[in-house]
Structure 1
Amino acid sequence: MKINDEILFEVEDGGIAVITIDRPQARNAINSGVIEGLRLAWQRFAGDAALRVAILTGSGDKAFCAGMDLKQAAATGLRIPPRDMFPILGDAVKLDKPVIAAVNGVAYAGGFLFAQMCDLCVASDNALFGITEAKVGRGMPWAAPLAQMLPQRIMMELLLTGAPMTAARAHQLGYVNAVVPLAELRDTALGMARTIAANAPLTVRAARELVYLSSEMGRSAALRAAYPLFDSVYLSEDAQEGPRAFAEKRAPRWSGR
């Protein structure tokens, strides 16, 4: 189904939502329709308990997202973007379910941001990642979390030169989980999503939170915070269902309770 003219929202078997930026004629650049459509798509995903994992991708075979629609930005005279202008996961948008970026071409500027904000990332072998704001005199405050994802000098290179990084290099550096031929990208992302969705949802959510919590704390503080994070998991019905299903040699029936 279409959220609006720019965003598609599909539901796949296994509790998977596929959210697609659908402006291939403009390399899926971010305009006001993309911003509003993504905001509504994240709300739909968050509010549907049957949906466990989302995939964010772009239409076509050239671009995941080429960044801000600079023609629209020039026409509106955009200066400092409001903090909540963009539907950034972990900032303006709060989610407790995992999201996979399926990067099907260039991911520049705001497109890099959209890949960065997801929990996991798979890329086609023609994908390019670039933080190109220095080339057009704009800013990238959203890149701050990248310091937890890439070495300092790689981050400096990306921000100061604006030069793109290949999917192969991004994978070598640990920024991308897998690189595959473009024709295999959707199936690869769906396979990863279904593997996650088949796991206990409470454990998945707590584990996701653990990763982000640990990135903001030292070792000892993270350990102290992590133990109570899983109390509700250990006390859940699913914590009994998992071992019971294993003993009975059947697939677990997760209730999320």
Structure 2
Amino acid sequence: MSEDAVLFEARPDGIAVITLNRPETRNCLARDVRAGLFAAWERFGADPTLRVAVLTGAGRTFCAGGDLKEMVATGMTVPPRDMFPVPYDTVELSKPTIAAVNGAAFAGGWMIAQACDLCVASTEASFAVTEVKVGRSSPWAAPLIHMIPQRIMMEILLTGKPIDARRAYEIGLVNRLTEPADLLPVALELAREIAEAAPLSVRAARDTVMLATEMGRAAALHAARHASVPCYQSADAQEGPLAFAEKRTPRWTGH
């Protein structure tokens, strides 16, 4: 395996596989991992041939969170706003992302898994927001209220206790639950289903979901209609119905 802190695979099917590659430190978000992940997200966002990204971890841990030794050594108080590479927050992205959680996703590990649009988890995965155990805070967890019920969120944040993958699936944090050996294949199949869809339709769909979490019903409807105009006016919007009528696979251009 490469010595790079973060591995990047650009697959010919339009899927990027990004792997946190510091299993000896449980893939914690040390400086080299943060830098590698920032670079990987930037590469994914800038490459028009890549449609979906899958984020996973090497070894038996997805990500154990921030580097506590670094925090002690630097006397860190409030983390710098741009310290962590969080999709759609400190990293600008408009394409879908999938977390493939192979083991523990604790603290910052939960943060980057939560930030992805979708989540596939191995039955060996576990999730925890452990900040209360070490005197830190988790403001990044605020969007979790749109994913799971309030009382469950409250218990997770107040106790810092882990939940297993099945519980994460039951409360809606995880989309697909798999056996460990099937984790990446299932995540790639989900990514492939998205990558095969019309690019502008996927973007409009993602925008619609995110707008709906930010606004009231009427405002979200208005904003979503506006966000859908480029999709409706695209050549792909004509190609899709034509391909259906001609009983062939659509040839998407993203325009």
> TM-score, length-normalised on structure 1?
0.97
1:212-223 correspondence to structure 2 within 5 Å: 212-223=210-221
Task: Name the SS for the 1:211 alignment partner.
Answer: helix
Q: Deviations over 1:163-218 (max 9, x none)?
A: 00111011111110011011000000000000000000000011101101000111
8 A Cα contact 2:14 2:52, kept in partner: yes
1:24 equivalenced with 2:12 (yes/no): no
Q: Say whether the 8 Å CA contact 2:30–2:67 is kept in structure 1.
A: yes
SS in 2 for 1:83: coil
Residue 200 (structure 1) aligns with = 198
Supply the distance in 2 between the matched residues of 1:13 and 1:125 (Cα, whole angstroms): 29
Distance in 2 (CA, whole Å) between partners of 1:43 and 1:90 is: 12
Q: Which residue of 1 aligns with 2:69?
A: 71
Letter in 2 for 1:31: A
Work out whether 1:51 is the aligned partner of 2:50.
Answer: yes
What is the match of residue 143 of structure 2?
A: 145
Matches within 5 A, 1:152-167: 152-167=150-165
1:168 aligns with 2:166: yes
Q: State the shift of 1:19 in Å.
A: 0.3
Q: Which residue of 1 aligns with 2:33?
A: 34
TM-fit CA distance, 1:5: 2.4
| Identity percentage of aligned residues | 59
Report the alpha carbon displacement of residue 83 of structure 1 after superposing the two structures with TM: 0.9
Count of residue correspondences: 255
- Aligned residue in 1 for 2:122: 124
Query: Any runs of at least 4 consecutive aligned residues in structure 1 with deviations exceeding 6 A, and if so which?
Result: none
- Name structure 1 gaps, 5 residues minimum: none
Contact 2:88-2:94 within 8 A present in 1 as well: no
Quote the Cα distance in structure 1 between the aligned partners of 2:90 and 2:29.
16
Which amino acid is the alignment partner of residue 215 of structure 1?
T
Give TM-score, length-normalised by structure 2.
Answer: 0.98
Please state how far the C-alpha of 1:10 moved relative to its aligned partner: 0.5
Name 1:13's counterpart in structure 2. Answer: 12
Secondary structure of 2:39 counterpart: helix
* Matching residue of 2:178: 180
Instruction: Give the CA deviation at 1:72.
Output: 2.2
Whether the aligned pair in 1 keeps the contact of 2:45 and 2:95 (CA below 8 Å) is yes
What amino acid sits opposite 1:26 in the alignment?
T
| Gap runs ≥5 in structure 2 | none
Residue 76 of structure 1: how far off its partner (Å): 2.1
Once the two structures are TM-superposed, the CA of residue 130 in structure 1 deviates from its matched residue by 0.1
The separation in 1 between residues aligned to 2:168 and 2:240, in whole angstroms, is 36
User: What CA distance in whole angstroms lies between the structure 2 residues aligned with 1:124 and 1:18?
Assistant: 17
